[in-house]
A and B are shown apart, each in its own frame.
Chain A
Amino acid sequence: MKQEEKVDFRLNREYCKACGICTALCPKKAISADDEGKPSMINEEACIMCRLCELRCPDFAIRIGRMQ
């Protein structure tokens, strides 16, 4: 991602069950599991905004977009 297009990665921590699907399948390893096993954005520049983390989250916990 270009520097000026910041990623807006939102996690609903209450819905997330720490299954690890989003972090395991992120094609760019832009998100990573924190110490509770829940995802956080660690490399915004690497994110290609494929939105697969949001689409494959079984728990409706992720919303990803561009900063408005």
Chain B
Amino acid sequence: MEQHVFDRLMRDDKLPHMWCRGCGNGIVLQSIIRAIDRTGIDQDKAVIVSGVGCSSRANNYTDFCGLHTTHGRPIAFATGVKMANPELQVIVVTGDGDSTSIGGNHFIQAARRNIDLTVVVFNNSNYGMTGGQYSPTTPVGAFTRTSVYGNIEPAFDVCRLAEGSGATYVARSTTYHVQSLIKYIASGITHKGFSVIDAMCDCPTLFGRINGLGDGAKMIAAWPEKTVSIEKAGTLSADELEEKVIIGEFVNSSRRSEYTEKYARIIEEAQRERADLK
């Protein structure tokens, strides 16, 4: 009988994990594991790179090569890994703070280059690890430890940010819609170019509690009401779309060439030039 995917790709000795009861991070991690499995990539050729945050603890539980880096910098480290060894499949696990606040610049530059990384943003609308401060994706009006009168900053739309910066695969799903979440992560991995999957998930302990949203089970059950598919969104007015989270595949394009492939040609050219000089 075939071994269960958890037995093959997870490190059982590290479980149970550190996340709170009902925290969505485990569902996103499970989706990544299943997506990698679905693409059939070699376990020894996958590298998972994380920053710092509750979500960035994810790669500690997986049985792949991994780098647990510094806050905001996983995309920079991942770029180094991919440049040094382009045949590796590099997957970045990062929080909304990690990727769009302190790491926002790395995020947009990597998208601009269209380097072949798959970035999974564990988007729980706040800084979990440090006690629930607001992040660039916290919705307007939401309460957090640092927006006790309600957040006055407009939120980044991670997908539009990725698309505007040049990402060539962009999708969003939620922990409720786990089947499409797995599908999009798998598509992001197979896609050659910079891929971003905005994985909406819940932090019941901090964001949930301070906003009176109930426990993890209540929060996950609310996603169908809060979301609308990209197909349906096209038929709705701006007013109707207000406060809705659009889910689906936003970009899937092979029009722009990938960075490490272009760089390989530079290496070749430089080597040829050097050989000619001899």
Contacts and interface: CB of A to CB of B under 8 A. Distances in A.
Given A25-B221, A60-B26, A17 B1 contact: no
B1 A58 contact: no
Interface in B1-24: 1, 4, 6, 10, 15-17, 19-24
B269 to A, nearest CB: 48
Contacts of A14: 16
A48 interface: no
A63 interface: yes
Interface string A53-68: 0011111100100001
Contacts of B215: 19-20
A58 B20 CA distance: 10
A14 B178 CA distance: 24
B223 to A, nearest CB: 10
B19 A52 contact: no
Nearest to A55: B178
A49 interface: no
A18 interface: yes
A56 B27 contact: yes
A1 interface: no
A20 B4 CA distance: 23
Contacts of B146: none
Given A20-B22, A24-B220, 8 more contacts: A19-B22, A19-B216, A55-B27, A55-B179, A57-B27, A58-B23, A58-B26, A63-B6
B128 to A, nearest CB: 13
Contacts of B4: 63
Contacts of A68: 1
Nearest to B23: A58
Contact of B220 (A21, A59, A60): A21
A20 B217 contact: yes
Contacts of A60: 6, 10, 15, 17, 26, 30
Nearest to B24: A58
Contacts of A58: 19, 22-27, 30, 175, 216
Contacts of B217: 19-21, 23-25
B35 to A, nearest CB: 12
Interface residues of A, number: 19
Nearest to A50: B179
Interface string B177-197: 011001000000000000000
Interface in A1-59: 14-15, 17-21, 23-25, 52, 55-59
A4 to B, nearest CB: 19
Nearest to A24: B217
B16 A57 contact: no
B22 A17 contact: yes
A52 B31 CA distance: 12
A55 B22 CA distance: 14
B220 A25 contact: yes
A14 B17 CA distance: 11
Contact of B16 (A15, A21, A56): A15
Contacts of B17: 59-60
Contact of B26 (A23, A52, A57): A57
Contacts of A20: 22, 215-217
A60 to B, nearest CB: 6
